Amino acid sequence: MASFNARITMPAEAKAGEIVEIRVLVRHPMDRGGQVDSEGRVVPRKILNRLTVTYAGEPVFRYDMHTGVSANPFVSFTTRAVETGDLLFEWREDGGATFTRTARLVVT
Amino acid sequence: MSLAGRALAIALLALAGAAAAQEVKPGSAFLSPQMQRQQEDEARNPGWLWVEQGEELFSRREGAAPSCVSCHADPRQSLRGAAARYPQVDAASGKLMNLEGRIEQCRADRQKQPAFGYESQDLLGLTAYVASLSKGEPLAVSADGATKPFYEAGKAFYERRQGQLNLACTQCHDGLVGQKLRGDTISYGIGTGYPAYRLEWNGLGSLHRRLRACSLGVRATQFDYGSDEYLALELYLAVRAKGLALEAPGLRR
Amino acid sequence: MSSPISPTCARPEPALSRREIMVVGAAGLALAGLPASTQAATPPALAELIARVTEGAVPERARITFDIPQLVENGNSVDVAIQVESPMTEADHVRWIHVIAEKNPFPDVARFHLGPRSGRADIRATLRLATSQKVVAIASLSSGSYVMADADIVVTLSACIDGG
């Protein structure tokens, strides 16, 4: 598979109580299964089926994805800035593989 | 030819003439406002995922071979505008070379590594990265001197009727610009957004991949990636787009 | 539409050949007697799909904005934006938002789990839509009730086939 890249766009800093928008773009073919590739082979289903986001250890967002989510999916959501800490993004792929990224939010 | 047919042919020719006199616009001008905004938004345009991959490859070392950045230090400065000058004639070989070809040449000759292969994800990534360093730069490809015969060949290709539908590129991409072809809007034949992320592909692809789809569309011969035919055509398209801003990685339907 | 080119676009499944149509025609009566599993499954009614998600409750059509282009440029990636009016407090918040595309092969498309930490119920995402259809967004509220909004969308075909 092509390399796993994730682009997470959010402010580096926020005031306590402020609502910040987090935008996530990730590279994945989201193979829905049953398609035929250039060599005539049937491609099995392999999608990212879940993105979980925790902020300073607390779950703040979860995205359950099925075959109706686009390739290289984009998602944006919001969270309230409460304390300086890491946002941990964890994707789970069909078959059990996981990918993680972190981004720090400094709260002033 | 019937009278009506002749009248239509004359009208088409007149349209083609009128369009040629107009200012040629980039492919993005024919996108919805939403897609135009998304193309410019690095957090949203998936093409930047490939740019990111290319940036990583640019400084990666394989064995004893130098990395790209070993020679091209400070690429944001040193390679700014470079992509806007391709295709160009390679002085040593006299061959016409596009950006993909130049990257492969560097890899084989200077890094002594096996070529990535046209349309491989690694080559797309590197091409997208190097092209992105010239984003916003005006295209500055020459049609004179050593490039002249290639330019003439590309122009002839663009104007020659071909395929089972017996259509030349110019008939639609000059004569019918702005009109609808099934679900899409016909644009000028301009490749300033490539490599581009096409929704139809669910991924990034080269201009030659797009040209192959065009050839298939008029049921004409599909030439190989990196073929002389498409290289000459790419040069002609780049000269047509002279002065337009490079916008790779583009976002297209 | 009069266009100079009408390339046939690639279809997810090939059209029936004339021979196949004739065979089906001749076998029509016999087909009626086959077990249901060998015939094309009829997707369950949309109401049923919604009821499955809401455990039978009927969602109110209120307080939810569902933004999706009416004319989709390419079904491979469709931008949706969903907002629910909610204070997003412990006592009163959106628990999740669920999207159903009734004519997708798998109609449950996505679910976004939110909570008081979200601050707002405000989501954007890119979905994949197989064909023109009705798309529904349902939000589950902390009160135990549900709200929904729907949209009829048209998916246009892209101009050129791509085999290259």
Q: How confident is the model at residue A107 (pLDDT cuts 50, 70, 90)?
A: very high
Instruction: Read off the tokens for C57.
Output: 């409750």
From the list A23, A25, A70, the residue facing B49 with the nearest CB is A25
List active site positions of B: 214
What is the architecture, at CATH level 2, of domain A6-107?
Answer: Sandwich (2.60)
Q: Which of B180, B200, B216 sits opposite C74 (nearest CB)?
A: B200
pLDDT of residue A38: 78
Instruction: Find all residues with CB under 8 Å of B92, minimum gap 6, and list them.
Output: none
Q: Which of C74, C76, C164 sits opposite B213 (nearest CB)?
A: C164
Q: Give CA–CA dist B199/B44, Å, rounded.
A: 13
Rounded CA-CA distance B93/B231 in Å is 15
The neighbour count for residue A69, using CB atoms within 10 Å, is 25
Residue B88 tokens, joined:
């160009």
Which residues of A lie inside 8 Å of B (Cβ-Cβ)? 2-3, 5, 7, 9, 23, 25-27, 29, 70-72, 74
- Best of B119, B199, B229 to mutate (most C CBs within 10 Å, chain C): B199
Minimal C-alpha gap between C78 and chain A (Å): 8
Residue A43 in contact with residue A37, Cβ under 8 Å?
yes
C131 interfacial to chain B (CB closer than 8 Å): no
**Which chain C residues are Cβ-neighbours of A69 within 8 angstroms?**
109-110, 125-128
Question: What is the spatial distance between Cα B201 and Cα C75, in angstroms, rounded to a whole number?
Answer: 12
**To the nearest whole angstrom, how far is the Cα of C33 from the nearest Cα of chain A?**
28
**Hey, what amino acid is at B172?**
C
Maximum distance among all alpha carbons in chain B? 71
- Percent of all residues in chain A with a pLDDT value above 70, rounded to a whole number: 98
Q: What distance in Å separates the CA atoms of residue C107 and residue C116, rounded to the nearest whole number?
A: 28
Residues of C in contact with A61 (CB under 8 A): 112-114, 118
Mean pLDDT of chain C: 77
Residue C72's pLDDT is: 87
pLDDT score at B180: 85
Do C5 and B172 count as a contact with CB atoms less than 8 A apart? Answer: yes
Contacts of C49 (CB under 8 A, 6+ apart): C100, C102, C107, C108, C136
What CATH number does residue C89 fall under? 2.60.40.2470
Task: Give Cα separations from B153 to B95, B229, B240 (angstroms).
Answer: 13, 8, 14
Dihedral (CA of C42, C45, C50, C55) sign: negative
Domain count, chain C: 1
Structural domain boundaries in chain A = 6-107
Token pair recorded at residue B233:
């055509």
* Residue A36, pLDDT score: 82
- Looking at CA atoms only, how far is residue A96 from chain C in angstroms? 19
Judged by CB atoms closer than 8 Å, whether chains meet at B203 and A70 is answered as no
Whether C109 contacts chain A with CB within 8 A: yes
A72/B203 Cβ within 8 A: yes
Q: Say if CB C119 and CB A16 are below 8 A apart.
A: no
Which among A9, A25, A76 is the top mutation candidate for probing chain B, defined by the most B β-carbons within 10 Å of its own β-carbon? A25
Q: What is the pLDDT of residue A2?
A: 56
The stretches in chain C having pLDDT less than 70 are 1-44, 157-164
Interface size A-C, in CB pairs within 8 Å, comes to 94
User: Cβ contacts (< 8 Å) between B251 and chain C: which residues?
Assistant: none
Q: Give the domain range for residue C54.
A: 46-155
pLDDT of residue C45: 82
User: In a mutagenesis test of the B interface, which of A1, A4, A5, A48 is the best target, namely the one with the most B β-carbons within 10 Å?
Assistant: A5
Query: Looking at the domain assignment, is residue C103 inside a domain?
Result: yes
Contact between C123 and A62 using a beta-carbon 8 Å cutoff: no
Q: Which two structure tokens, joined as six digits, stand for C75?
A: 């079904």
Structure-token pair, residue A83: 């304390």
Residue pLDDT, tens place only, A14-56: 999 999 999 999 999 999 888 888 788 888 999 999 999 999 9
DSSP of B42-64? TTT-THHHHHHHHHHHHT---TT
Q: What are chain B's domains?
A: 3-40+139-252 (1.10.760.10), 47-132 (1.10.760.10)
Query: From the list A25, A26, A71, which residue is nearest B203 (CB)?
Result: A71
Residue whose token pair is 């766009």: A9
DSSP per-residue string spanning chain C = ---S--PPPP-SSPPPPHHHHHHHHHHHHHHHTS-GGGSPPPPPPHHHHHHHHHTTPPPBS-SEEEE--SEES-TTSEEEEEEE-----SSS-EEEEEEEETTSSS-EEEEEE--GGGSSEEEEEEE---SSEEEEEEEEETTS-EEEEEEEEEEPPPSS----
Residue-level pLDDT at B147: 96
User: Does C1 map to a domain?
Assistant: no
Residue C73 domain-assigned (yes or no): yes
Q: Which residues does chain B have with pLDDT short of 70?
A: 1-22, 182
Is the residue at C121 inside a domain? yes
DSSP H helices, chain C, are 18-32, 46-54
Identify the pLDDT of residue C1: 37
- Examine residue C29 and state whether it is found in any structural domain, yes or no: no
Query: Measured between CA atoms, how close is C94 to chain B, in angstroms?
Result: 26
Smallest CA-to-CA distance from B199 within A37, C128, C76 is with C76
| Residue C74 counted as domain residue | yes
Structure tokens at A79: 């969270």
